[in-house]
Each structure stands twice: as C-alpha cells, then as structure tokens.
Structure 1
Amino acid sequence: MTRSPADEVMERLVRLFEAAREPERAVHAAAYMRNQFAFLGFPTPTQRALARSVVAGLPKPAEEDLRAVALACWDRDEREYQYFACDWLRANVRVPGPGFLGTARTLITTKPWWDTVDPLATRFVGGLVRRHPQLVADMDAWAGDDNVWLVRTALLHQLHYGTETDTDRLFGYCTRQAGHADFFVRKAIGWALRHYARTDPDAVRDYVAKNRGLLSPLSVREATKHL
C-alpha cells in the first residue's frame, strides 16, 4: 500500500521527536505552561532543526495533507507536536482554500492556550482570510463568540496586515470587546492596537483617546506603550 504524504510526515516526525526527548527540560517546560500540557523538552532551535529534517525532500503538501497532519499533531500529548503543526501551516498558508477555516477553528478551540492560538491567529488565519476575503464574515462572527480564543483570533488576525488593515473592523472589534472580562481578550485588544500604531500612530492615539472610558487599563497600557 502506498503511504500518503501525511503518513510520511507523521512517521518522520514521531521518530525524530521521540529520539530527541529531554525529560528534565520537559518538566520545566510543563511548569512554565502551568502544567497544562506534556512536553518532550527540547529547546526551540532543536525543534526547528528537527522540523526541517521532517519535511526535507518531501513534495509540497496538499490541503488534505495539512489537515491530516495538523489534526494528528493535536492528537499527540506533547506540545511540541502542536508547535510543529502551527509552523507547518504557516509555511504552507497559500495551499488551503477557505474551507480550511473550519479546521483552524478546531485547532484554536482544542487544547487552547496562547502559545498555539497566537501563531495560528496572526500567521495562519490572517493569511487565510487575506487570500479568501469572504472569510471576513467568519471573523465578524468570531469577534463576538463566547469562546475567548476565537475572540482573540479575530482581534489578532490582521496583526501583520499593515496598510491593508481594515481599520473599521480592527477598531470595531476592539470596541465590541472593550469590556470583556478575560485577560487574554483585553491583552489582545492592546496588542492589536499597539501593532497597528506602527502603521498609523495617529489613528490609534485618536481611537484610544475617544474610547479610554470603554477600554480596560490593560488594553490602554498595551496600546499606548510606544506612542
């Protein structure tokens, strides 16, 4: 039977990652993440080197390969597998069509924490929406969702758009969630505004001035850090 590209990736990934385990470092890594996840324990440079070895010589993945590998990585206990999936999706963001947003939603809402949600939001979902503008309607829905990680993703998906930022949506999402009780939403509001201030500091300064009574102190502090 012919092995699928996804099977080949996962076989290489598990073999190389398991061989690189560092149990003592894994304990510290897990503690840093509040013991929410297990870790293999190797450092980021090792992760990147191993990831390069995993995909070396393989053809460009198809959408179904990306989906299969990402979901398989999310089924693994150790967090490094999810990091691999985030990086691989980012590297191949031009491959999937708009229907892949459903898979991204699954990844964002499964085993969620900032370490996977943020790269998916800023580097993958953002790229997906940019390539498939019809997905902005989904971002509008996510911006008002009950799930804080979907809200955070909507707030951050334009982080690297620069002059292409839809400011009505950026400011509108911030206003919509200005009173949100969750730290990660309030922090995302400030981060999104602070990053856009690199492109248009006057617009951010004006927005914060007009909405200071709505925004949390954390959001204001983050937004104006470099203004």
Structure 2
Amino acid sequence: MPTKIEKVTNLFEAYRNEREAGPMTKYMKNHFPFLGIKSPIRKELEKVFFKETGILKEPFDQEFILELWEKDEREYQYMALTYIEKSLKKLQKGDLALMERLVLEKSWWDTVDAIAAKAVGKIAEKFPEIIEETIDDWAEHDNLWLRRTAILFQLKYKEITDEERLYRYISSNSDSKEFFIQKAIGWALREYSKTNPSSVKQFINENSLAPLSVREGSKYVD
C-alpha cells in the first residue's frame, strides 16, 4: 500500500507539464524547480488526496509536511501549506519549531508569508507566551525571513493587534536595505491601517521608513 507521500507524488507526477514548468520556475527567480501544475489543477489534486486519505481527520502530521518539504518541486511545498492551513485548529505550541524550520528551509516569500500570517499567527494567538519566548528574538534575527515572519505574524489580527509590538518590530528593522523587509513593513502597516488608520498615519509621519514601506503602508490612509 503506497504511503501518503507516494500518493501525492503519483497524483502530481501524472500532471507534470514541462511547458508550464519553465515560466513558473522563472517567475520564482529560478530558486525552485516546478512540475508545471497550475494552481487550480493543483488544488483539485489536493482535494482528491485529502478525500482519499482522510488525513485531515487524523492528528497533525509533522513528518508528512517535512517529506513534502524535502521534495524538489515547489508544488510539494504548496501542498504542505494547504495541509497546514486546513489544520490550523490542531496546531500546538510545539509546532512553532516546525514552522521556524520551514521558514529557514527553501525560504522565499511564497512559503514564508503563508507560514507567518497563518500558522505562526494562529499558534501565537493560542499560546501568546511564545511571542516573548521566541518571536521577539526573530524580529532581530540575522535571518531576514525570520524577521519578515515576526513583522507579519499579526497580519490577520485586526483589533487584537499588539500595536506597540508591531511598531517596535518595524522600528528595529526600519533601516534595513532588504527589499523583503521593507515590503513586509509596508504590508503590515497597510493591513493594520484597515483597523486603525489614524495610528498608522501618525506612525508613518513620525518615523523614518524606507520609501517602499511608506508607499505600501500609506495606501489606505492618504
């Protein structure tokens, strides 16, 4: 009987499309190879897998995620993200270590952002002690993807956003020359401005931020 990872591989390989794979790889700056499965088809294949295996009714499977992460083609990491998103209610405090590993391995915005705003955000909401224990350190980490994760983990928090912490993380990264940090700052400010536009406007006016961050963060306050 095939394992779960073998079932996913068989499903995906049947839809490998070399003609589509090239442009998809190029779009991701040639960081990762692709099978060439477009998103709508991949999502249908994921539905088939979830239905056939019943994995969503089982305990959260870290090993399955790591097996997907080890696969070369990027569609397997996207499958892992879908599984995580459908398992958010199952996440426990100990799963933060897995999310950190996923952020650090095969790092790019397409996986990091989903992990930050969904998985890390959910774990921090359920177990807020992990913010001081771990995420505060991420905000000043040498690794830019952990810093981006810290800036973005409250992205969906709206009224429960810890404004002081959000602004503190942004301030400690405001002099970064990294595009992905400047972009994250702008994105975080833009999302929070939907909840508290006056606060965001004041913060932008009173702090020295990169033009990209200001432009992105000011979208709903000007």
TM-score by length of 2: 0.95
Matched, 1:187 2:177: no
- What CA distance in whole angstroms lies between the structure 1 residues aligned with 2:12 and 2:126? 32
- Offset of 1:90 from its aligned partner? 1.2
Aligned to 1:21: 16
Aligned counterparts, 1:119-158, within 5 A: 119-137=114-132, 138-158=134-154
- Offset of 1:226 from its aligned partner? 2.1
**CA deviation string 1:185-207 (max 9, x = no partner):** 01100000000000010010011
Aligned to 2:31: 36
Matched, 1:62 2:56: no
- Offset of 1:79 from its aligned partner? 0.1
- Offset of 1:61 from its aligned partner? 3.0
Residue type at the aligned position of 1:168 = E
Aligned to 1:47: 42
User: What is the percentage of aligned positions where both structures have the same residue?
Assistant: 39
Matched, 1:198 2:174: no
Matched, 1:99 2:62: no
Aligned to 1:72: 67
- Offset of 1:96 from its aligned partner? 2.5
- What CA distance in whole angstroms lies between the structure 1 residues aligned with 2:4 and 2:123? 23
Structure 1 residues 8 and 61, CA gap change in structure 2 (3 angstroms): farther
Q: Report how many aligned residue pairs link the two structures.
A: 218
Secondary structure at 2:94 match in 1? helix
Aligned to 1:172: 168
- What CA distance in whole angstroms lies between the structure 1 residues aligned with 2:49 and 2:145? 29
Instruction: List runs of 5+ in structure 1 lacking aligned partners.
Output: none
- What CA distance in whole angstroms lies between the structure 1 residues aligned with 2:19 and 2:130? 43
Matched, 1:218 2:212: yes
Instruction: List runs of 5+ in structure 2 lacking aligned partners.
Output: none
Following TM superposition, where does structure 1 have runs of at least 4 consecutive aligned residues deviating by more than 6 angstroms?
Answer: none
- Check whether the contact 1:26–1:38 (CA below 8 A) recurs between aligned residues: yes
- What CA distance in whole angstroms lies between the structure 2 residues aligned with 1:26 and 1:181? 32
- Offset of 1:217 from its aligned partner? 0.9
**CA deviation string 1:45-95 (max 9, x = no partner):** 0111000111105052313x1x11111011100000000101111110121
